[in-house]
Amino acid sequence: MYPKLSDLINDLFGTNIILPIQSYGAMVAIAFIVAAYLLYLELKRKQKQGLIPVLKTIITKGLPATPLEIITSGGIAFLLAWKGVAAITDYHFFAENPQDFILSTRGNVWAGIIVGAASAWYTWYSKKKAKLEKPIKAEMEVSMMQLSGNILMITIVFGLIGAKVFDVIEHLDSFFADPVGTFFSFSGLTFYGGLIGGSVAAIIYARRKKIPILVLIDAAAPAMMLAYGIGRLGCHISGDGCWGIPNTMPKPEWLAWLPDWAWAYNYPHNVVNEGVLIPECSGSHCHVLPEPVFPTSLYEFSICALFFVVLWSVRNYIRIFGLLFSIYLILNGIERYLIEGIRVNIKYDIAGVYFTAGPYMSYAFSGSRSVSDIRGATKDAFNTKSFYEKMDYGINVGLGAELFSHLQLGVKYSWGLNDTAKKNLLNEDYWGALSGFDVKNRVFSINAAYFF
C-alpha cells in the first residue's frame, strides 16, 4: 500500500523522494476537484434552462480597510509564514510527520512576524489607495463558477466536521485517550456524517441565496456519487482500514480474469499499521494483515463509477425535480447493501442502546381530500397535487435497543426541511389562515423487528 503519495511515485518511477502528502488526502482532494467541476457543469446547464435565477450581490467600493480585515490578513499571513518557512528548513521532519508538525509549536516566529506585518500593511495601503470620498454601491452578477465554488467550500468544511464528529462518536475510546490527536487526525472520517453535515450546510446556503433546493441536489447527485467512489479508491490505495472481512476462499473459476489482489488482499504497509510486522521492514508503516480480506473499497469505487455513468446518462431525461437525487439515494443504498455483508463495520452503542441518523427523501405519487358535512355527505373532493409539493426531504434521527437477542425496538423522529404546501393565489382559499406559515412534516415513529 502507499500511505503517502511519494510512496506511490517511488514505486512507479524508482525514485526516492519524500512528500508530506497523504495518499488518502490526495485522493480526497481529487474527489473534491472532480465534484466541483461536475457541479459547475450541472448548475450552468440548469441556469440556461431557467431553473436557477441569475444571482446578484451588492458591493461597496471605496471603503477603507476595517480593523477586522487588517487583523485577518496579517494573522493568516503570519500562520502561513510561521509554519511554511519552518517546513522548508526542517523539511525531513515535516515530510515524515506532517500532522505532528502542524499541531506542534515548531515554526519560524520572525518569518511569521515579518510576513504578517507586511500583509497587514498592504491590506491597509491598498484599501487606502482605492478609498473614495463618497463610497459607491454597485451590483455584480455572481458567476456560476463562483457559486459552485462557494457551495463546494461550504460543503467541504461542514462535511469534514460532520465526518470527523461521527467518527469520534464511533471511536469514543480513542477520543477519550487522546482528544486533540483523535479529532485533528488526518485519518478517520465517516461518510454519512460528512453527507449530513455537508448537505445541511449546503441547503441552508441555497435557501439564503434563493436557489431551489431540489434543483441543487439534483445537480449535485452525479458529482456526489463519483466523489464518494474516488474517496473509496483513496481508502484502498492507502490501506486505511476500510476493507472487508477475511477471505480465504479460493477464487471461483468464473472470476479467473480477476487479478488475485482484487479477490483477496492483505494490505501490506497499510497506513493504520494493522496486522503483523513485516520481516526486515524499516519505516513507519511495516504491517500486513495476517490473512487476506475482501478489498471492499475497490469494489465500492467500481460500483460508484458505474452508478455515476447511470446518473449522468439519465439526467437530461428527468423532468421531475428531486427525482434524480432520489435515484442517487436508491443507488447509494444498493451499493451499501451489496458491500455491507463482506465489509468490516464497527457497531457503536451505549449500554445496549444504538443510535441512528441520516437523510430521507420521499415522493408523493397520489393524494386526495374530501370534506363532509354533518350528515356525512361529501361536499367536495379533488386531487391534492395542486396544493402539495411532490417531493419532501429532511433528516431522520433515532435510537433503539436489542432485547432478548432476537427482538429489536426503536423510536425515530423525522424532521422535514421542505415546505410541502404550495401557497399561491390559486389555492389561498384552501390554506386560508395557514397561507403565511410553512407546512413541514414532523413525525415520530416506533418500530419493532424480530431476528430469526
| Residue 86 falls inside a structural domain | yes
Residue 22 DSSP SS3: strand
112 and 83 within one domain: yes
Q: In this predicted structure, what is the pLDDT of residue 184? A: 61
Three cell numbers written together for 102: 502542524
Q: Are 390 and 363 in contact (CB under 8 A)?
A: yes
State the burial class of residue 301 (Cβ atoms within 10 Å of its Cβ: 0-12, 13-18, 19+).
buried
| Residue 375 falls inside a structural domain | no
253 and 358 within one domain: no
Q: What is the pLDDT of residues 257-283, one digit of tens each?
A: 999 999 999 999 988 889 999 988 887
Residue 360 DSSP SS3: strand
310 and 244 within one domain: yes
DSSP assignment of 178-246 equals -HHHHHT-SS---HHHHHHHHHHHHHHHHHHTT--HHHHHHHHHHHHHHHHHHHHHHHHHHT-S--BSB
pTM, two decimals, is 0.73
Helical H segments across 379-431, by residue range: 428-431
pLDDT, mean of each 10-residue run, the chain (452 residues) = 86 87 85 88 88 82 90 94 93 84 87 95 92 85 78 82 74 68 60 72 82 87 92 89 88 90 92 89 87 93 96 92 89 88 68 72 67 53 60 80 78 82 54 60 85 66
CA pair distance 298, 233, nearest whole angstrom? 6
Structure-derived torsion over alpha carbons of residues 247, 248, 252, 257, reported in degrees to the nearest 10: 70
* Identity of the amino acid at 324: L
CA pair distance 362, 327, nearest whole angstrom? 11
CA pair distance 197, 154, nearest whole angstrom? 10
What are the strands, taking DSSP E only, across 20-135?
56-61
| Residue 65 falls inside a structural domain | yes
332 and 278 within one domain: yes
What is the b/e burial string over 317-349, where b = at least 16 CB atoms within 10 angstroms of the residue's CB?
A: eeeebbbbbbbbbebbeebeeebeebbeeeeee
| Residue 335 falls inside a structural domain | yes
Domain end point (choices 141, 167, 195): 141
Q: In this predicted structure, what is the pLDDT of residue 172? A: 66
Q: How many CB atoms lie within 10 A of CB 365?
A: 7
| Residue 448 falls inside a structural domain | yes
Q: Are 5 and 21 in contact (CB under 8 A)?
A: yes
42 and 84 within one domain: no
406 and 287 within one domain: no
- For residue 312, how far is the Cα from the chain centroid? 19
CA pair distance 373, 11, nearest whole angstrom? 81
What are the strands, taking DSSP E only, across 38-129?
56-61
Q: What is the pLDDT of residues 386-441, one digit of tens each?
A: 666 777 777 888 888 877 667 888 888 988 877 776 655 445 555 455 555 677 88
321 and 437 within one domain: no
Q: Mention every residue, 6+ apart, whose C-beta is less than 8 A from residue 252.
A: none
CA geometry: angle 174, 22, 348, nearest 5 deg = 25
Number of domains present in the structure of the chain: 3
Domain hosting residue 75, numbered range: 58-141
Q: In this predicted structure, what is the pLDDT of residue 103? A: 76
Q: Of 366, 399, 407, which is closest to residue 384 (Cα–Cα)?
A: 366
| Residue 355 falls inside a structural domain | yes
| Residue 250 falls inside a structural domain | yes
29 and 105 within one domain: no
356 and 303 within one domain: no
The helix or strand, by DSSP H or E, that contains position 102, with its residue range, turns out to be helix 98-103
